[in-house]
Amino acid sequence: MRSLTLAVLCLALGACATTPEEDPVQVKLKELDTRETRLERIAANQVDMAQRLDQVQASQRELRGRIEELEHSHDALVKQQRDLYGDLDKRLAAGGAAAGSAAAGATVAGGSSGTAAAAASPTGTAAATPPVGAAPSSVEQAVYNQAFDALKAGSYSVAIAGFKDFIAHYPASPLAENAQYWLGEAYYVNHDYDPAASAFRTVLKKWPDSRKAPDALLKLGFTQYAQAQYAAARATLTDVTRRFPGTDAAKLATERLRKIPGQPTG
């Protein structure tokens, strides 16, 4: 009987030896490894999303550049047509004045010549006033393109230097407002938010009614958002939706407003 009992005890001890309890330290280490693996996957996904966002933004900048080129070409054609029509009007006015002068005699002719001059230049200052929608010079266009190409290529420091140089040398150029806006963009994508905000405010101050005004106000709001100035960003982006309803800038402002922490609902 004693032999049988010892045999049963040995079998029981052997079974216990084959199924040892798992070390709690090892359990914790496995849990930590699992969590670390999940975090690494999340971080990799975030990096991938950031890279895709950079690609999308680069494509948008390139598309905007092409649109600007088309707009400048259109403005140049409009200027040429305006100059042609203006030259024709001056010739007609000069011809009519000359005919009146010949019919009225030498004395009246002297007075009519002044009238002809006034007809050719109704305000008397036409020569000193640049035509509306004037096209930039070839030098201005070349300097501007060089800076914009640097921006599209991701050479932000080169683009910043180029746009600043353009604005300093050609402040009255038809491209000045665009150069000022893209200067802000170059600062923004380079994460230099203070000078970016200053550049966008300059666009709004000097050219409040320009085509770049909606985008400048939008990007000012984006810059404030990036700086975690959420109250200012909310006010600026709301201003975009009020001043420029129905525009792409207003739509983007509405989307960003939803992301601002503490954004009121309803």
User: Counting beta carbons within 10 angstroms of the beta carbon of residue 151, is it exposed (0 to 12), middle (13 to 18) or buried (19 or more)?
Assistant: buried
Judge if 147 and 90 occupy the same domain.
no
Judge if 104 and 201 occupy the same domain.
no
- Given a cut of 90, whether residue 77 has pLDDT beyond it is no
Q: Give residue 143's identity as a one-letter amino acid code.
A: V
Judge if 143 and 36 occupy the same domain.
no
- Comparing C-alpha atoms, which of 212, 234, 211 is closest to residue 221? 234
Spatial neighbors of 35 by CB under 8 A, at least 6 apart, are: none
How high is the pLDDT of residue 81?
43
Sign of the CA dihedral with 249 first, then 223, 43, and 153 last:
positive
Judge if 159 and 37 occupy the same domain.
no
How high is the pLDDT of residue 114?
40
pLDDT digit string, tens, across residues 11-55: 555 555 555 566 777 776 777 778 777 787 787 777 767 767 777
pLDDT digit string, tens, across residues 227-240: 999 999 999 999 99
pLDDT digit string, tens, across residues 171-199: 999 999 999 999 999 999 999 999 999 99
Query: Count of domains in the chain?
Result: 2
190 lies in some domain: yes
How high is the pLDDT of residue 27?
74
How high is the pLDDT of residue 21?
64
- Comparing C-alpha atoms, which of 100, 99, 175, 163 is closest to residue 135? 175
Q: Average the pLDDT over each of 47-51, 114-118, 143-147 and give the range with the smallest value.
A: 114-118
Q: Of all residues in the chain, what percent carry a pLDDT higher than 90?
A: 46
Contact 82, 133 (CB under 8 A): yes
Judge if 175 and 263 occupy the same domain.
yes
pTM (2 decimals)?
Answer: 0.54
How high is the pLDDT of residue 45?
75
Judge if 159 and 108 occupy the same domain.
no
Show the domain range for 256: 136-266
Length of the chain: 266
CA dist 245 and 250 (Å) reads: 6
127 lies in some domain: no
The predicted model gives 109-114 an average pLDDT of: 40
What stretch of H or E contains 201?
A: helix 193-206
Q: Which residue, of 63, 89, 119, is where some domain finishes?
A: 119
Query: Domain of 178: which CATH number?
Result: 1.25.40.10
15 lies in some domain: no
Judge if 112 and 230 occupy the same domain.
no
- Given a cut of 60, whether residue 153 has pLDDT beyond it is yes
